[in-house]
Structures are given as C-alpha cells and as structure tokens.
Amino acid sequence: MDKYVGQFCNLMIDAVHESIILKRGVVPGYPEIPGVFLGLCLFGNEHINRGVTKSLNGLADVNRGFKLAIAQTNSLNDTCQNASLHIKNLEDIVHLKSKAQGINETLVAQVDTVLTYISDGMDTVREKLNRLQKTLAEVSFLESAEVYGERIELER
C-alpha cells in the first residue's frame, strides 16, 4: 500500500509542480486545484512518514528482543555447564563412597541411574541451546536492517 501512496504522491507533486510553476498557480476556472493537490501530497507524505517511523520502532523492538534472547541463551548455557560439572562431581563422589563397606549397593545403583538420566538430560538441553544459539546468530542481519532504516529516516 505504501508503494501506491508513494506513486500517488509523486503524481501529485508533478501535478502541483505543473500547475503552480508552469501555469503560475491558476488552472482556468479552478483556482483551488493546486491547493487540493498540495494537500493530497502532504497527506500522502505524512502517511509515509508515519509508516516508516512505526516500522523503525518495530524493528528496534524486534532487535532488542533478539539481543535479550541471545543473552538469556548464553546465561542458560553457562548454567547448564555448571550443572553438568556438579552432576559429574556428584557421580564421582557416589562412586568413591560406594566402595566403602556397609553401603547398600541397590541404592547406589539407583542413585547412579538417576544421575545418569539427569546428565543425559543436561546434554540434550545443551545440544538444543547450541542449536538455538546458531539460529539466533543468523538473525544478525536485523542490526544492519535497523541501521539502513535509520539512514532512510535520516535522509527523509
């Protein structure tokens, strides 16, 4: 729609230019036509300006959202690594303590199984986080789009 508004504005500007500059602002029998054309051009220009401004604000919001998602993913990835290290340490402690006499082997096996499941789950989470980080890194073009949009806003 903005494409058609832009084309309409260009046509109106040409018409205003022709009627004001070339015919000295007066169309025989219709002295108000240049004013109407000018009003339509200004309306279309304002419409385009609002659209560009809203688009830039929306793009900035999306870009901030992606930056926040990247930061939260990095934080979650660090937390996942720390949890994996703690689980590994806990497994080592369980194996070390299980060698002592009087320890229930069934409970040790159950604890070992639970820790293995948790460790496997953490590995799955880490893989998905790495995939998410790659996806979020691929949307870096939004920053350049925002810069280009601001440049367009500045040139208007």
Structural domain spans, the chain? 2-155
pTM over 0.95: no
- Tokens 């900035």 belong to which residue? 60
**Residue 12: what pLDDT?**
60
Higher-confidence position of 146 and 88: 88
Q: In this predicted model, what pLDDT tens digit does every residue of 84-133 receive, in sequence order?
A: 999 999 999 988 888 888 888 888 889 989 999 999 999 999 999 989 88
Cβ-Cβ contacts under 8 Å for 76 (sequence gap 6 or more):
129
Higher-confidence position of 106 and 41: 106
Task: Report how far apart, in Å, the C-alpha atoms of 66 and of each of 69, 115, 138, 143 are.
Answer: 5, 34, 11, 10
User: Mean pLDDT for the chain?
Assistant: 78
Q: Is the pLDDT of residue 8 over 70?
A: no
Give the C-alpha separation, 145 to 77, whole Å: 28
Query: Is residue 15 very low, low, confident or very high in pLDDT (cuts 50, 70, 90)?
Result: low
Taking residue 12's Cβ as centre, other Cβ atoms within 10 Å add up to 20
